[in-house]
Amino acid sequence: MNRQTQASLQAYHSFRCPSITEEEVSIRSEDDLMEAYRLGLFNEPWIVLGHGTNTLFLPRVSERVFLMQFEGFEHEILNDDQIHVTVGAGVEWDDLVEWSISQGYGGIEAMIRIPGT
């Protein structure tokens, strides 16, 4: 877990407007999430942010911002017609679509180039 005060959010949302948060917390694992909980970081107002698509911030953000940066994919084949996919909270949508295509899994390939996490 990485914590930074007076952090710029400009790179983390699609509108790219200048914006500063009082505190940014990068969460890269379940352990980071549990540590943030143990430290009481959820006891004050907070915001969760993936890549901020369709998020517009004011120049000053008083809430603590949690940047979800979980990575990776896991999948389980359930039967000949179904799979169960678990995706990290920080994975880019296009990366998920491209990974699905590379694995031969159909169903979301038409949704490529839709911004989001």
Q: Are residues 7 and 64 located together in one domain of the fold?
A: yes
Q: Are 73 and 88 in contact (CB under 8 A)?
A: yes
Return the CATH number at 24: 3.30.43.10
Tell me, yes or no, whether 91 lies in a domain. yes
Q: Are 48 and 68 in contact (CB under 8 A)?
A: yes
pTM summary value:
0.79
Q: Which residues contact 51 (CB under 8 A, 6 or more apart)?
A: 12, 13, 14, 90, 92, 115, 116, 117
Tell me, yes or no, whether 116 lies in a domain. no
Q: What is the pLDDT of residues 33-82, one digit of tens each?
A: 999 999 999 999 999 998 766 788 899 999 999 999 988 889 999 998 89
Q: Are residues 6 and 62 located together in one domain of the fold?
A: yes
Q: Are residues 49 and 93 located together in one domain of the fold?
A: no
Q: Are 38 and 25 in contact (CB under 8 A)?
A: no
Q: Are residues 63 and 98 located together in one domain of the fold?
A: no
Q: Are residues 57 and 87 located together in one domain of the fold?
A: no
